[in-house]
Structure 1
């Protein structure tokens, strides 16, 4: 049976892979981003629009990843999962990106990295391959039995492909009817982890 610590790492790996691809695919929109500090300089409307797009896609990504492992029901997280998450920093970076400030800092870093490539064509860099899809982001689920391991890999890949299409359709439909996808799952999980850490630090747990 996969431990909660392993589940945390697998969920974080999938979410971080999505974030890596998103920032690599969209940093071109931030060519004029001069500083990572959102309090310095004008923040363009198109930058915030990209941030909102990230928030929507990130929300669906983490929903799918958590649902895959059955650790969330109606924004209520399994106690063991939250307990494992508070002792791990695996999800911290991804969850922080749903706030605008950390998002801009990460994007500024991505822009600087791209500029340092000295104009090298992005298609020659394997980090930029297959930016549009997220199916390859789903990590391999470990299992000691070879046949089970292979079947899990097949199921995970197929589920990721279905979720990718579902996310695109859902986002388009939400936008057409004027209902945005709010990062409620990411925000709720972040609050739960922070609360659990606070309780442990002050000896309430």
Structure 2
């Protein structure tokens, strides 16, 4: 059942034209994208364009990802209802809200206090009670709740941070944009004991992941 939020027609068109039409097939992911009101995660005046096929500013130099990219990264994670997922980079909370529909629990790490506060407010507004927001260096992960069935990194990293690989459960999946500050490849890592298998899924552009195992702040 779709939540009683306004702009439902826009959400349904977004999913049909921007996401399903471009090859996202997981019915649970599509249902979550229809359910979560993206406009509540975009500050004014950009909220009027919340269902456009584009990333949008959320303040503090950060962005909310393009809807298709959110759906693609979520589908690549292969989320199951029993999973515990770690997200690196809470942003405005939209990706965590999508994940909250699909998994048992979500821990999301955000380094910028004002952005974390925004995410808390937004997630409370949509009653995403299975999401925990932690302020800190996302490149270190959150070992307190490890291991995780899935890890999703929503900022560009020069390479996969070692602490995140260490916190990934056996047979778990990690999805991250890996490359330079200007362009990255979407990489999926699947853990098999001490071995990690990689897949690559095309070019993307994200804001840089700042931290000990990421980029330095400019």
TM norm structure 1: 0.25
The higher relative CO (CA closer than 8 Å, separation ≥ 6) is in 1
Structure having the larger proportion of residues in helix: 1
Which structure has the larger Rg over C-alpha atoms?
Answer: 1
Q: Which has the higher strand share?
A: 2
